[in-house]
Amino acid sequence: MPKSRSSLLTRRGLIAAGGALGLVAALTACGGSDSAKDGSGDKGTGAAAAWSFKDDMGKDVTAKSTPKNIVAFTGTAAALHDYGVGVKGVFGPTKTADGKADVQAGSMDISKVEIIGNVYDEFNVEKYAALQPDLLVTNTWEKDSYWYLPEASKDKILKLAPAAAIGVGGDVTMDKALARTADLAKSLGADLNDKKTVDAKARFEAASAKLREATKANPGIKVLVGSGAADLFYVSTPATSADLKYFQSLGVEFVTPDKVEGGFFESLSWENAGKYQADVILLDNRTGTLQPEELKAKPTWAEMPAVKAGQITPRVTEPIYSYEKCAQIVEELTKAIQNAKKVS
């Protein structure tokens, strides 16, 4: 799981959340029909038909009717937006310090959603309850873990409305996460036969084929997945992220760190940041991480062969799982592989 930036700077284990918030009177979660086994939902007929969805925690998520007041993790909300499904509120990185949309907000108009929390461990339960939510949606990186829900207030939050989680870690690959997000969007009213969606899926599939071709045409290119913080340089393993596992299946050769913490990355002091040699660096693009201009001040960064060669590509560490956004990610990686020279 990619570290949230706030906890990344203060903890070295898996993310744990804290800080319970006050709570207004709890809403009663609505019941519904049994869920379809494939998770595509069963909206039935009529406006009041029951709704159900089997999420990636294996839970049958139900409501008396198709949810309309949806609150979602920012990146998941951005994916639903690309399918034409709107949300009332979001939690997670949404607005930068200068008021602009965070990279994880995608194409959403952030002025039209209620921001329940903008950083990790921030979730205003009162604001959430006031929206009278029908459904909460987020991702899951680990078993029974709702991404970006503070641990201390999680139970209170989950009492307010049904919650659905889409898997993006572990054994899941990008194509699977995309399909499951599309399933959820369909259950919420999205038309997956819409031309925009059909074209976006075709673009993603074509981009994937080109990436496979690029890795065959330029073999031996080693890719390091890194994230820069003030005191540490994090090198991610490709084994536990849906995007990296998918790229690996298409032939991308990743640097695999040998002292992985919690199953996700190795933490290196800046003195040891050059431990692994690579031809291309995929650099975490999330708000709060150090970007190339800021990293110039780190001597070991400047000495890395990939940095000297200018072979640095932004990594969308937490992808927006719509075919449109993931096609763009694959296309950018393909260009990086095609243009890369062996320097390590």
The answer to whether the beta carbons of residues 256 and 288 sit under 8 Å apart is: no
- What confidence tier does 131 reach under pLDDT thresholds 50, 70, 90? very high
Q: What are phi and psi of 219, to 5 degrees?
A: -70, 160
Strand order of the sheet with strand 135-140? Answer: 114-117, 89-91, 70-73, 135-140, 163-167
Is 138 a residue whose pLDDT tops 70?
yes
Residue 30 DSSP class:
P
Query: What pLDDT is stored for residue 22 in this prediction?
Result: 30
pLDDT at 10: 34
Instruction: Measure the CA–CA gap between 261 and 273, rounded to whole angstroms.
Output: 16
For residue 28, name the pLDDT band (cuts at 50, 70, 90).
Answer: very low
In this predicted structure, the answer to whether residue 19 has a pLDDT above a threshold of 80 is no
pLDDT at 46: 45
Pairing relationship of beta strands 280-284 and 312-315 according to DSSP bridges: parallel
Please determine, for residue 232, whether its predicted confidence score (pLDDT) is greater than 70.
yes
**What is the pLDDT at residue 3?**
52
pTM, full prediction? 0.85
The whole-chain average pLDDT of the chain stands at 88
Find out whether 104 and 94 touch, Cβ atoms under 8 Å.
Answer: yes
- Other Cβ atoms less than 10 A from the Cβ of 92: the count is 28
Q: Residue 145 is encoded by which pair of tokens?
A: 């873990």
Q: Which residues pair with 290 in a beta bridge?
A: 228
Q: What is the mean pLDDT of residues 87-99?
A: 96
Which structure tokens are listed for 124?
């205003």
pLDDT above 90 as % of the chain: 82
Portion of the chain with pLDDT greater than 70, in percent: 86
Backbone angles phi, psi at 6, to 5 degrees: -65, -45
What is the spatial distance between Cα 104 and Cα 76, in angstroms, rounded to a whole number? Answer: 9
- How confident is residue 41, by pLDDT bands cut at 50, 70 and 90? very low
